[in-house]
Structure 1
Amino acid sequence: MSKTISGFSKLSKSKKIDWLVETYFSNKEAAKTVLKQYWNSNDKLQQLHDEFIENTISNYYLPLGVAPNFIINEKTYTIPMAIEESSVVAAASKAAKFWATRGGFKTEVISTTKIGQVHFNFSGELDTLQKYFEWVKPKLIETTKPITKNMETRGGGILDIELRDKSDTLEGYFQLHATFETLDAMGANFINSCLEQFAKTFVSEIADYEVIANTDLDIQIIMSILSNYVPDCLVRAEVSCKVEDLQEDPSIPADEFAKKFIQAVKIAEIEPFRAVTHNKGIMNGIDAVVLATGNDFRAVEACVHAYASRNGQYGSLTHASIENGIFKFWIEIPLALGTVGGLTSLHPLVKLALEMLHKPSAKELMQIVAVAGLAQNFAALRSLTTTGIQEGHMKMHLMNILNQFEASNEEKAHLVEHFKTNVVTHSAVVEALNNLRQ
């Protein structure tokens, strides 16, 4: 039976591992070996990784791949992708190659506004609160000047602060709803610092508000925190070509493919069960680039799925149409990303990933990431509406199955050749491997 421990965080990494293997693992030496074999041999680099988070015991590796041949606004990119799922990088690369000869991807940043909120309770008269807010608002901005000075020098800062009455949905609940421009930084620490200062000023200045010096203006701050929902930090990516230029597989007429493709998108627009899987495929591409560039994929995921539900029902993030013989496929998606701060200047592979992308600004990275999602979705829908998703996916998954059964290089070579003309399933691979070994 496992046991609790006091003072775990104060133990050395080796002592943490000793306690873990003694408490949880039957083969203690094997567990210790696995954990230690992923330590970096460069002590300085390992220390850097150890200090990213708390209670570090090892490093958890994901493959870093690249998808070449992306033409975005007439500029060529090779996109780094950190992901464990078979076929994602291959699918993105295939879509990039397809559209590279059809005009490439076109993108634009629509807006870059980010949001933070001070949540508080108030039980008095709304008119009194409104007048106080109007009086104190300049002071809210003024008292954050030490925080915003550098950001303002670069052209960013606080855009506005609003008082929002939410008491109709939760008794006594109000917000200071603030908007920000954070330029190339994702801006979480900047925004949260501003919000916490807003909260302090909002409460402390009550004593100097002469209009109600003798009135009880009871404001109770609940919390001050940025919102990861950023519907006004929006980017658009699209591809288009003549319908006849979609022809790739001679067995499927271009117009038939286009109609099936658009119908597949429309199904995802109105059917949540399909939309979730449809959008998960988009996020395969987006998360992989977000992770490779040191950004917060959890924040991106939460925001994107909220955005997909903004009209009251969860639906597709991508859309498609045919107008005057032109096929068009596009995505509009909120992405709060940064290219400075956080891991972008600390993690060596993040630095390389950003350099590979021509050291993009946050706006440029938004466009690249949106393209990765659109490309991934195009590749998935093309497979679904033609050969089916499993043919390509399972062939990419073949190597995972062979590694699971510790196939030798010779066995791998033989079975890769065998499954070029046979359907890949887990049972079929196991049977073929057993036959080969016998």
Structure 2
Amino acid sequence: MHTPIEGFSKLTKAEKIDWLSENCTTDAEKTKQLLKRYWNANSSVQKIHDEFIENTVSNYYLPFAIAPNFLINNALYAIPMAIEESSVVAAASKAAKFWLDKGGFKTTVLGTEKVGQVHFMYTGNKKKLLQFFETIKASFFEDTKAITQNMKKRGGGIKDLELRDKTDKLANYYQLHCTFETLDAMGANFINSCLEQFSKTLQKEADVYFDFSADEKQLEVVMSILSNYVPNCIVKAEVSCKIKELDEDELSGQKFAEKMLQAIDIAKAETYRAVTHNKGIMNGIDAVVLATGNDFRAVEAGIHAYASKTGEYSSLTHAEIKDGVFRFWIEIPLALGTVGGLTSLHPLVKLSLEILQKPNAEELMQIVAVAGLAQNFAALRSLVTTGIQKGHMKMHLLNMLNQLGATEQEKQQLVAHFKDNAVTNASVKEALEKIQTH
């Protein structure tokens, strides 16, 4: 166990690596070589990476892949995905190809409203607080003019401010609930800057308006921050076709559609299943969000909260059979940006947006929603027909062989062998040992 270190952030990268290697690993030289191996050979690109976050010692790479053949609103896309999990890209690509000649994916943005809040405590008269808010409401807009002027020129800005009484949840707790339009920017910095000014205005005006006694401060701001829950920033994606177009080798189109509905109904009724069901959706969503330089943690938090909006965690996707047509869709909150943040800094993020034909924020919302829907369709299709392991384990085969130290020749032999044989940890190990002992 190493001892605490003072001033780590002030060390050079080389000094950080030396300290880390010598104090936290068993083979200092091996650690140094590993970290250096993942530096970008282009020093200017590496400098960009170094300045994204603090205390950088190397880069952590994820595979960057393409899922082609996505027909979205009659336009064809190849979707970039950054993810480490086997079978995700293959599944998305397979779903895209399945729907390509059935009309593809249809999408609609239902809203783009973002949210931020000023949280404060107030111990005085509620009616007087409401009167106070109505009196000073215009001041919030006035005091943020310098922050909002450029956003307003582009058609965005502050949409509304609302005083909310939350004392039924927590004693003396109130909030300013604020809504924003940030256009092609995710808008976190813009929103937080507005909120911090709202806090100052609220406290300043309160100190003048209320007759605070010497020993009691009736209104006190606790904090101001955007919310990653954006239930009015919603996108819908769907696919549909005639039942007879769903015929599978194992099932008739009718039976396949019925089993798909049953699978979704189970995810709506059973939380244990819903979590895994929605995790599969997020495989597709996160991979595109990450590839396009957006905040996948914020997206995850907001979407999972939305999945719980009825009070129980449930499926994010829906399906129906009506008049001989199978319909499958998703509605999710997505706060994304195509300007600001990493979008103009990270070389592969810029490339991802170029591959997607330089979408605006609304177009990116639609593409990301489609990736999630495709992923869920592919997973459910496997589950109700051949089972999830057949395809997943074949995709995972190379990872298993690499873990077992197989040579390139052995990999080629075993990939061919397992085209017609079940892939399990035991069967792969046994097949590799058989090759190595002959």
TM-score of the superposed pair, with normalisation by structure 1: 0.98
Cα distance change, pair 415–146 in 1 and its aligned pair in 2 (3 A): same
C-alpha distance in structure 2 between counterparts of 1:291 and 1:373, whole Å:
13
Matches within 5 A, 1:264-303: 264-303=263-302
Matches within 5 A, 1:163-312: 163-209=163-209, 212=210, 218-247=218-247, 249-312=248-311
Query: Does the aligned pair in 2 maintain the 1:124–1:217 contact within 8 Å?
Result: no
Query: Does the aligned pair in 2 maintain the 1:319–1:331 contact within 8 Å?
Result: yes
C-alpha distance in structure 2 between counterparts of 1:20 and 1:54, whole Å:
15
What residue number does 2:325 align with? Answer: 326
Q: Secondary structure at the match of 1:223?
A: strand
Query: Does the aligned pair in 2 maintain the 1:163–1:175 contact within 8 Å?
Result: yes
Gaps of 5+ in 1: none
* Bigger mean CA deviation after superposition, 23-32 or 45-54: 23-32
1:82-107 deviations in whole A, cap 9, x for unaligned? 00000000000000000001000000
Report deviation, 1:264: 0.3
Cα distance change, pair 427–128 in 1 and its aligned pair in 2 (3 A): same
What residue number does 2:16 align with? Answer: 16
Q: Secondary structure at the match of 1:329?
A: strand
C-alpha distance in structure 1 between counterparts of 2:236 and 2:135, whole Å:
39
Matches within 5 A, 1:10-159: 10-159=10-159
C-alpha distance in structure 2 between counterparts of 1:15 and 1:149, whole Å:
44
| CA RMSD in angstroms, aligned pairs only | 1.1
Query: Does the aligned pair in 1 maintain the 2:229–2:301 contact within 8 Å?
Result: yes
Cα distance change, pair 4–214 in 1 and its aligned pair in 2 (3 A): closer
C-alpha distance in structure 1 between counterparts of 2:89 and 2:4, whole Å:
42
Amino acid at match of 2:387: G
Cα distance change, pair 371–214 in 1 and its aligned pair in 2 (3 A): closer
1:221-268 deviations in whole A, cap 9, x for unaligned? 100000000000000000000000111x33311111111111001100
Cα distance change, pair 250–206 in 1 and its aligned pair in 2 (3 A): closer
Aligned residues: 435
Q: Secondary structure at the match of 1:433?
A: helix
* Bigger mean CA deviation after superposition, 17-26 or 79-88: 17-26
What residue number does 1:405 align with? Answer: 404
Q: Secondary structure at the match of 2:31?
A: helix
Amino acid at match of 1:257: F
Report deviation, 1:426: 1.1
Amino acid at match of 1:4: P
Gaps of 5+ in 2: none
Query: Does the aligned pair in 2 maintain the 1:157–1:182 contact within 8 Å?
Result: yes
C-alpha distance in structure 2 between counterparts of 1:400 and 1:207, whole Å:
63
Q: Secondary structure at the match of 2:359?
A: coil
- Aligned sequence identity (%): 65
Q: Secondary structure at the match of 1:235?
A: strand
What residue number does 2:357 align with? Answer: 358
C-alpha distance in structure 1 between counterparts of 2:239 and 2:120, whole Å:
45
Q: Secondary structure at the match of 1:312?
A: coil
Amino acid at match of 2:435: L
C-alpha distance in structure 1 between counterparts of 2:211 and 2:95, whole Å:
66
Query: Does the aligned pair in 1 maintain the 2:284–2:375 contact within 8 Å?
Result: yes
